[in-house]
Amino acid sequence: MAVPKRKTSKSKRNMRRSHHALKSFNWVEDSASGEPVRRHHVDLKTGMYKGRQVIAQRD
């Protein structure tokens, strides 16, 4: 079994953990409905993406 030769310093440990933080989503207001939507994602309610209809709406 591998055993560390030296104690990991607080600085080294924290530098390793710098990527562990939760990332916030980038929300924008939809120009048509005014609802918050995520950028670069298709709106599943309307099927719109970048002002175009990309998914056919169900009735």
In the chain, where the domains are located? 28-59
Mean pLDDT for all residues in the chain:
88
Angstrom distances, CA of residue 40 to CA of 6, 10, 16, 20, 45? 46, 38, 30, 24, 15
pTM of the predicted protein model: 0.48
Q: Which two tokens stand for residue 22?
A: 């939760």
Q: How confident is the model at residue 45 (pLDDT cuts 50, 70, 90)?
A: confident
Q: How confident is the model at residue 5 (pLDDT cuts 50, 70, 90)?
A: very high
Q: 28 vs 10, which has greater pLDDT?
A: 10
Has residue 37 got a pLDDT over 80? Answer: yes
Q: Cβ–Cβ contacts within 10 Å for residue 15, how many?
A: 10
